[in-house]
Structure 1
């Protein structure tokens, strides 16, 4: 993600080296440099690639001595697949309505693997990446526990069961799930605010995820109020926004993996014009046009 404190310069790279060395000793062209996920370093100083695969909208950290690969695409991929499956269930795809199929993904891939990716982000000095990936890894582990029958959190005879019927009391159970989802909506809003100077694709990832949490939380509260039709539509809306978030996460993950050494094409992530990188690109373009 974008290094907001020490942005690189395409002109600088072009003048000093002609082409910046990329991953595996390959050389990146100016076209590669416009892909903020391209693994490009100038000869003067190793710099974090710009927004997207690096999960770096915050403080600058030099990557000169780091011995870790970029963990963000792994975390994004783990998040994307688990979100995709849950969103398909929320949409009621092919008549599937029980979310228990998400449990193994939530505990294994979306949970443990994403949590590990967040810890590796911590190791490379990326505060935002560590916070985001570790937190969503924790979310999936918690959600998997919530759905695990042996824990019986939302099951019959559980803590939210009615004493009279021993069945889950929607007045408590659905509200409790709504509290759970509302908390994640608030947290995601905080992260969303940290992407406003990044790229369009990265911002859209958190924007759609934020809306997914909001719709699902409202769906739970509507169920609590016996507004079953509204609850169903809100849950489906949450599934739709979750599906968009999943594909945007895969998009950003691919942008963090692909460069000239392994792909025939690079995908754009579209810097906001008010971002550091956006202003830099405009300045470089203006200088080239003047020349």
Structure 2
């Protein structure tokens, strides 16, 4: 047997927990600032956005592509790119970006996420809830930024915290279940 044949027969790791965890941790930290729970030191999110929210999700997306998972590839690669955009924008790499422009981008990601949410109807409840909460988060933050409504932005932060919890639970349930040799407790599909 050739070395190449041995490599193709080995079990590959599921990249979804990495992507979900990178998304969840970065979202949780940013959302605490968006909710107004912490008001100083928001630049701490930049490193997370560049590497764990961004790079780790881009890698998870590439691995999902390699596994033939179109939904996982599209989701992880898009949200990885979102975090890289956030890193560059918040870091001032694009110059003076207005709150209205930021709001427009967030609403556009909300539209994308709403469309992706429909793709979770036959997935598990964990993914369904993650995408449901995420599109609501994007719309609240986007409209809040566009019209300068701090209350909407804070609401978006709180929903973002719930989004992070749902994503983290979904990703870590897969890791724990796999290590115990069981099916992950992430709920049944919404539709059969």
Structure (1 or 2) with the larger CA radius of gyration:
1
Structure 1: any 5+ residue segments left out of the alignment? 1-63, 155-159, 161-172, 224-230, 276-291
Structure 2 regions of 5+ residues with no counterpart?
A: 1-7
Report matched runs for 1:228-247 at 5 Å. Answer: 231-247=149-165
Residues of 2 paired with 1:273 and 1:219: CA distance? 30
- Matched with 2:74 is 131
The 5 Å alignment of 1:102-141 reads 102-141=45-84
- The residue aligned with 2:100 is 175
TM-score, normalised to structure 2's length?
A: 0.88
Q: Cα deviations across residues 71-106 of structure 1 (Å, max 9, x unaligned)?
A: 10000000000000000111112433x632211100
| Corresponding position: 1:91 with 2:16 | no
What is the aligned partner in structure 2 of residue 153 from structure 1?
95
Helix, strand or coil for the counterpart of 1:258? Answer: helix
Q: Give the Å deviation of 1:126.
A: 0.7
Which ranges of 4 or more aligned residues in structure 1 deviate by more than 3 Å? 64-67, 260-263
Measured on the aligned residues, the alpha-carbon RMSD in Å equals 2.1
TM-score by length of 1: 0.59
Residue among 142, 155, 179 paired with 1:217: 142
Q: Classify the secondary structure of the residue corresponding to 2:43.
A: helix
In terms of fraction of residues, the more helix-rich structure is 2
Secondary structure at 1:269 match in 2? coil
Structure with greater contact order relative to length (CA < 8 Å, sep ≥ 6): 2
Tell me the number of residue pairs that the alignment of Structure 1 and Structure 2 aligns: 185
Q: Check 1:205–1:148 CA distance in 2 against 1; reply closer, same or farther (3 A cut).
A: same
> 3-state DSSP class of the match of 1:99?
coil
Match of 2:188 in 1: 271
